[in-house]
Amino acid sequence: MPNSQQVTLDLTSTSYRDNCDRLRYLEEKQRELCALSQNILTSLGIGAKMAIDECQYQFRMSRWNCSTFGNTTTIFGGVLSVKSREAAYVHAVSAAGIAYTVTRACSRGELNECSCDSRVRSRKPKGKWQWGGCSEDIHFGEKFSRDFVDSHENRDTADGLMNLHNNEAGRRSIRSRMQRVCKCHGMSGSCSVRVCWRKLPPFRQVGDALSARYEGASHVKMVDKKRRRIKKLRAVSRDYKQPNKTDLVFLEESPDYCERNETMGVLGTRGRLCNRTSMGPDGCRLLCCGRGYQTRVRDVEEKCHCRFVWCCDVKCDTCRYKKEEHICN
Amino acid sequence: MHGAILENLSGRKLAVLISLLLICQVVCFLIGGLVAPTPASAENWLATKCRHRENDTRKWLYPRGEGHCDSIDSLDIYRSIDPDRRKEAISQEYLKANELVFALQIPLPRNNMTLDYSRWQQNLIGVLQFDIAYYSDAERDPDDAWKHYASSVEERMLQCTMTNKEEGFHYNCSIIPFFELGSLHHDFYLLNIRLPVDAVKKTNQGLGHLEDIWLVAINQNGGFTKVWVSLKTIFFPFIIGIMIWFWKRVHQLSRSPALLEYMLLFLGVTLTFLNMPLEYLTLAFDMPFMLLLGDIRQGIFYAALLSFWLVFAGEHLMIRDGVDSNSLRAYWKHLSAVVIGCLSLFIFDMCERGVQLRNPFYSIWVTDLGTNLALTFIILAGISAGVYFLFLSYMIWKVFCNISAKRTVLPSMSSARRLHYEGVIYRFKFLMLATLLCAAMTVIGFILGQVSEGRWKWDDDLELEFTSAFFTGVYGMWNIYIFALIVLYAPSHKQWPSESEHRGSTNEEIEFSRLPTDPSEMSSLTAFARKSAMD
């Protein structure tokens, strides 16, 4: 389970250095990174929260709905101890979430630590920016995520390799979705001089992309090359496509999410609302695992015909209507 | 008789000179490619959302440092219809549009250092990007959300589209020109953007779920400016020196200077004006007109270069009688294309960058009238450019026709004269080739720069900054080209040996001296061309 998500739980604004020391589950390196500044801890918290929200949004229609448990040290319960597709998704989305928020924090000037190097020619480090500008913030975001999230993974175990692979896939899904925008500013505004930059995508787009990767995740096993002592992940069967760096990988098949399982932290689908007409995973047939469902009709009062008012208000009418709900047995 | 240096220079000397100039050219290219960084860099900065409870819009809000504003991380809680979140929003009081200020304090700190703008960075152009998310539950369905915003008294239109509507995704919004500062005189800049709502004036009414405002600040890179100004500083005295040398030589002659020589001098003067390293002054003084001045300097130089080509081709054509050919009046038809084109570009530039001297937030493109006006001038300039190239190609074609006509009578001439004419033709063609090569290199370099992402990599160690290399290369090329023209077209003091030996011995010689202008002091190339026109 990525430790980053635990940071959310104990966020207080007391002395952040003490705070970082108190977070015992952090590795030595993570504690160092955390103690860099107060804002890093905040960013990490926001990133983890955003990743969880995104996971819950993407899986709102599946048997496993990315449910969290606030009172345990492992946020997702024991689900992630199985090295399944779901664990792959959670790792990818949280690594991406941290890279994303750190990048944003850099762009907003909240982190003084954001670096300016990479691919800039300069003789003195001090005048780097004035000489040739800075690298994109996403480079620092990715680097930070790599340092922080990847630091406690063991490269010699299959689990560690899988997590590292998925973390990297998550980070790459941000970069590959950045949109390139250009502006001409040459003589009289002509295109003789043109400068381009890349725009950060909304995190929903990253979550969507990872969801698609989740659907096509590769089942892998670790292969140990004896001669060169390199451990690598390879597809379980030669017939399958070898995973590339942007694919998600998993080692074990997912557990049964239909029935409640306290030890695994699976809540089961009993009592979940389902969609009677859908043929997808949120349809009653699939979601209720064949146990059937009950239908209840109730009068509800809901906000409707909402209009958004800039900047920060939503004006709605109240509507009353009968609502039909289907609940899994 | 006296001729141009080009005609009297031996092949070996010419080769040495050309190879020296070529080495200079390669050096210019490599300086840009290996030393200089990219010409400009763009940085993405995210605006901090500040809440400003008082209604005083004159107050400035700082996102960082002492006395910084109350920042809001996300506007989501104010916009959700989820009852729990509504309660949270109510507990913090609703946020009114007039209280929301997007603040930017640029540049941002990096590596624990506070960055500041250096005056070497020359200019700053700001562009805004709006992140507007799509939510179906609380919105009409605007395919195009139009929006006005006021920053001093500014209006901008924002056009947003979305092909597949998916919740939480952002609209694909056009970038909004924000400001252009011609001089980067100060170290820090603070920007406050307010998007007030006014029901009467219908400002900001249909604005969607604006989540963030990004500012993209584009500035010239300090390193590029340093390399560029050094190049200018080197070229400046060279061109001045060669011009003085040239004009002295022309004045040593007994005749008055020819039109081509005036044109060469004029070309040299405009190049000197372009080379003048005025950028040094911006380090000490605030000169917001530098962007405009840079455009004007380049414009004048290109106008001079284009006119020179016309006159150069025309002087070797000689359809008219030689009497009034020594003045620019003969070329008014051709030159008017250059003048109209340059003038319309100048007017357009004054409308855009000239007005920006008074108000950096001004842009001609934001209003429909302004856009039409700007397009009119640009199209006019384009048409003039087309007409100009038609004229030029026609004239060059005529010159080559004349030359080939002369070629047919060459075998009947005496051997010395034939050698002379063949040399002249060869060197004229050589110069045409050089011009064509320079123009083609510029065009090819430009296209390559647009196609490649501005960075070429041959291997990991050698990385060539192509855009910068292109700029320094082209700049060096035109300097070297004009340097070479001035040197090679300066009047030579050397006697033409074969010519004087055989003087009077052939019919052509007599015919030659019957030309209206005194041939002895005329560039023999021109003389040849005139003669061929008479034939």
A11 and A89 housed in the same domain: yes
What DSSP string describes B88-104? HHHHT-PPPGGGEEEEE
Write b or e for each residue in B476-492: b if 16 or more Cβ atoms lie within 10 A of its Cβ, otherwise e. bbbbbbbbbbbbbbbbb
Range among A280-289, B2-11, B359-368, B377-386 rated most confident: B377-386
> Which of A250, A282, A305 is the last residue before a domain boundary?
A250
Determine whether B453 is exposed, middle or buried from the number of CB atoms within 10 Å of its CB (0-12, 13-18, 19+). exposed
Q: What percent of chain B has pLDDT over 70?
A: 74
For position A14, what pLDDT does the model report? 47
Q: How far is A216 from chain B (nearest CA, A)?
A: 21
A184 and A245 housed in the same domain: yes
For position B275, what pLDDT does the model report? 94
In a domain, A59, yes or no: yes
B48 and B157 housed in the same domain: yes
Give me the residue from B78, B115, B169 closest to A129, CB to CB.
Answer: B115
Name the average pLDDT for chain A. Answer: 81
Question: How do residues B168-185 score in pLDDT, each as one tens digit?
Answer: 677 777 788 888 888 888
Q: Which domain holds residue A16?
A: 4-250
> Which of B220, B241, B271 is the last residue before a domain boundary?
B220
Instruction: Specify the higher pLDDT residue, B332 or B143.
Output: B332
B21 and B49 housed in the same domain: no
For residues A304 and A323, the answer to whether their CB atoms sit within 8 Å is: no
Dihedral sign, Cα of residue A72, residue A73, residue A76, residue A82 = negative
Residue A292 touches partner B, C-beta closer than 8 Å: no
Q: Which residues of A touch B450 (CB under 8 A)?
A: 191, 194
Q: Which residues of B touch A143 (CB under 8 A)?
A: none
- At B389, list the tokens: 């190239």
B114 and B256 housed in the same domain: no
For position A298, what pLDDT does the model report? 86
Residue A303 belongs to domain with CATH number: 3.30.2460.20
In a domain, A157, yes or no: yes
> Which of B220, B254, B283 is the last residue before a domain boundary?
B220
B354 and B428 housed in the same domain: yes
Q: Which residues of B touch A193 (CB under 8 A)?
A: 39-40, 467, 471
For residues A109 and A55, the answer to whether their CB atoms sit within 8 Å is: no
How many whole angstroms separate alpha carbon B472 and alpha carbon B229? 10
- At B438, list the tokens: 């320079």
**Nearest alpha-carbon partner for A237 in A253, A214, A221, A224:** A221
In a domain, A86, yes or no: yes
For chain B, give the number of residues: 535
A244 and A278 housed in the same domain: no
In a domain, A260, yes or no: no
Question: How do residues A69-106 score in pLDDT, each as one tens digit?
Answer: 766 666 777 778 888 888 999 999 999 999 999 999 98
For position B84, what pLDDT does the model report? 67
B199 and B323 housed in the same domain: no
**Nearest alpha-carbon partner for B413 in B533, B532, B534:** B532
For position B150, what pLDDT does the model report? 32
A140 and A12 housed in the same domain: yes
The residues in A 310-329 lying below 8 A from B, measured between CB atoms, are 310-314, 316
For position B387, what pLDDT does the model report? 92
Amino acid found at B62: Y
Residue A130 touches partner B, C-beta closer than 8 Å: yes
**Inter-chain CB proximity B197 and A188 less than 8 Å:** no
In a domain, A31, yes or no: yes
For residues B456 and B466, the answer to whether their CB atoms sit within 8 Å is: yes
A195 and A47 housed in the same domain: yes
- Close Cβ partners of B259 (under 8 Å, ≥ 6 residues apart): B311, B315, B325, B326, B327, B328
Q: What are phi and psi of B124, to 5 degrees?
A: -135, 130
For position B273, what pLDDT does the model report? 95
How many whole angstroms separate alpha carbon A163 and alpha carbon A4? 14
Question: How do residues B47-81 score in pLDDT, each as one tens digit?
Answer: 888 888 776 666 777 787 777 788 887 777 776 66
For residues B275 and B235, the answer to whether their CB atoms sit within 8 Å is: yes
**Inter-chain CB proximity A195 and B42 less than 8 Å:** yes
Q: Which residues of B touch A208 (CB under 8 A)?
A: 166
- Close Cβ partners of B244 (under 8 Å, ≥ 6 residues apart): none
- Close Cβ partners of B357 (under 8 Å, ≥ 6 residues apart): B182, B288, B289, B292
Determine whether B56 is exposed, middle or buried from the number of CB atoms within 10 Å of its CB (0-12, 13-18, 19+). exposed
Number of domains into which chain A is organized? 2
**Inter-chain CB proximity B214 and A132 less than 8 Å:** no
Q: How far is A113 from chain B (nearest CA, A)?
A: 5
How many whole angstroms separate alpha carbon A187 and alpha carbon B274? 13
B320 and B181 housed in the same domain: no
Question: How do residues B108-134 score in pLDDT, each as one tens digit?
Answer: 887 777 788 888 888 888 888 888 777
Cis preceding-peptide flag for A311 (omega within 30 of 0): yes
- At A214, list the tokens: 């989740």
pLDDT over threshold 70, residue A323: yes
pLDDT over threshold 60, residue B410: yes
Q: Which residues of A touch B44 (CB under 8 A)?
A: 107, 136-137, 197-200
Amino acid found at A206: V
How many whole angstroms separate alpha carbon B263 and alpha carbon B251? 15
For residues A300-325, average pLDDT: 79
A217 and A116 housed in the same domain: yes
For residues B347-351, average pLDDT: 89
∠ CA A271-A274-A276 to the nearest 5 degrees? 135
Question: How do residues A225-244 score in pLDDT, each as one tens digit?
Answer: 776 677 788 888 888 888 88
Residue B39 banded pLDDT, cuts 50, 70, 90? confident
Give me the residue from A197, A201, A307 closest to B216, CB to CB.
Answer: A197
Q: How far is A207 from chain B (nearest CA, A)?
A: 11
Residue B534 banded pLDDT, cuts 50, 70, 90? very low
Instruction: Specify the higher pLDDT residue, B201 or A211.
Output: A211
- Close Cβ partners of A240 (under 8 Å, ≥ 6 residues apart): A218, A219
Q: CA of B25: how far to CAs of B238, B287, B441, B451, in Å?
A: 15, 32, 12, 23
Question: How do residues B188-217 score in pLDDT, each as one tens digit?
Answer: 888 888 777 766 666 666 666 778 889 999
B403 and B452 housed in the same domain: yes
Residue B245 banded pLDDT, cuts 50, 70, 90? very high
A237 and A181 housed in the same domain: yes
3-state secondary structure (DSSP) of residue B287: coil
Number of domains into which chain B is organized? 2
A246 and A101 housed in the same domain: yes
The ipTM of this complex is 0.83
For position B431, what pLDDT does the model report? 76
A182 and A320 housed in the same domain: no
In a domain, A262, yes or no: no
B8 and B55 housed in the same domain: no
For residues A158-178, average pLDDT: 92
> Which of B193, B220, B247 is the last residue before a domain boundary?
B220
For position B473, what pLDDT does the model report? 92
pLDDT over threshold 80, residue B156: no
For position B88, what pLDDT does the model report? 67
B331 and B345 housed in the same domain: yes
B441 and B386 housed in the same domain: yes
Instruction: Specify the higher pLDDT residue, B171 or B354.
Output: B354
Range among A123-127, A180-184, B84-88 rated most confident: A180-184
A193 and A287 housed in the same domain: no
Q: Which residues of A touch B195 (CB under 8 A)?
A: 310-311
Q: Which domain holds residue B104?
A: 41-220
A240 and A283 housed in the same domain: no
Q: Which residue of B has its CA nearest to A43?
A: B73
In a domain, A46, yes or no: yes
What DSSP string describes A30-93? HHHHHTT-HHHHHHHHHHHHHHHHHHHHHTTTSSS-----TTSSSTTGGGGGS--HHHHHHHHH
B356 and B495 housed in the same domain: yes
Q: In what order do the strands lie in the sheet with A293-309?
A: A273-274, A313-328, A293-309
For position B466, what pLDDT does the model report? 84
B375 and B443 housed in the same domain: yes
What DSSP string describes A268-319? -STT-EEBSS--STTBHHHHTTTS-EEEEEEEEEEEEEEEEETTTEEEEEEE
Q: Cβ atoms within 10 A of the Cβ of A278, count?
A: 14
A197 and A308 housed in the same domain: no
In a domain, A267, yes or no: no
Dihedral sign, Cα of residue B349, residue B354, residue B355, residue B356 = positive
Amino acid found at A219: H
∠ CA B163-B168-B169 to the nearest 5 degrees? 35
Residue B435 belongs to domain with CATH number: 1.20.1070
